[in-house]
Amino acid sequence: MPSALKADGITVSFGGVVAVNDVSLDVEQGKILGLIGPNGAGKTTLFNALTGFVTPQAGRIYLHGNEITRLPPYMRTRVGIGRTFQTERPFEELTLLENVLVAAFLKEPKRKKAEQLAMDVLEKVGLADRYDQPALDLNLARRRRLELAKALAVQPSVLFLDEMMAGLNPPALKEMIEFVRRLTDQNLTIVMVEHIMEAIIELSDHVIVMANGSVITEGLPRDVIEDPRVITAYLGED
């Protein structure tokens, strides 16, 4: 399979503190990359560097072979990157349909067609029956699904999911895992930062473990979580 997303030697530092140190990765099209590590490992910073919200000091990023390192976030969205935010950010004053519509307009400038696309996406995530509700009044599980719908409505080729599973109750978690799995059937490539191991193990084709800004190990999910270095990173030395 061709490479969908490739990063070489990404380094990000904030005022002398290195948050991400020389991280490289390569995701094949249609695969899911899991990104795990203890708090403060630099996962979210790496994630933001890949999506353009943080500028790396060194390294290069390629999307389907084209370099995107210097592109601002909105340009990356236009060339095929979709993302969710860790703390969901619906446009609270807008209805669910309008929320998704904002994103749908990217590929469908005509209102009618964009609305159709937005409705389709809402259908997919199971929010279609609430399309005219203001986004302000949603509960957590639905806010997550709306966040996902917004990311899908830009019709990305690579989707970044930032802790989509955190805080969901078991049935909602199962549903979300099932949903994400189905996304790859349509050849969508996914990069996910996640703390819920169940989701990582069930979904990832490849896992990268970070600690203190660097990659400490990577591989298949089952192998990685039994790696003693990973256990040390999570639990500390002694």
- Where on the chain is the footprint of another protein (CB under 8 A)? 44, 48, 51-54, 72-75, 77-78, 82-83, 85, 89-94, 98, 101-103, 105-106, 109, 111, 114, 132-134, 136-137, 150-151, 153-154
Helix (H), strand (E) counts: the chain? 9, 10
Please compute Rg for the chain using Cα positions: 18
CB of 187 to another protein, least distance (A): 20
Whole-number Å distance between alpha carbons of 52 and 54: 5
CB of 131 to another protein, least distance (A): 11
| CB closer to another protein, 101 vs 230 | 101
Instruction: For residue 116, give the nearest of 104, 132, 106, 125 by alpha carbon.
Output: 104
Q: Tokens 């199971």 — which residue?
A: 126
CB of 161 to another protein, least distance (A): 12
| CB closer to another protein, 115 vs 194 | 115
CB of 77 to another protein, least distance (A): 4
| CB closer to another protein, 100 vs 203 | 100
| CB closer to another protein, 93 vs 198 | 93
CB of 62 to another protein, least distance (A): 19
CB of 111 to another protein, least distance (A): 7
| CB closer to another protein, 137 vs 185 | 137
CB of 129 to another protein, least distance (A): 10
Greatest Cα pair distance in the chain: 61
Name residues whose C-beta falls within 8 Å of residue 138's C-beta, 6 or more positions apart in sequence: 90, 96, 146
Instruction: Please give the angle made by the CA atoms of 178, 96 and 145, to the nearest 5 degrees.
Output: 20
| CB closer to another protein, 40 vs 219 | 40
How many C-beta atoms lie closer than 10 Å to residue 26's C-beta? 14
Instruction: Please give the angle made by the CA atoms of 173, 204 and 35, to the nearest 5 degrees.
Output: 90
Handedness of CA 196, 199, 203, 45 (dihedral sign): negative
How many C-beta atoms lie closer than 10 Å to residue 142's C-beta? 20
| CB closer to another protein, 1 vs 14 | 14
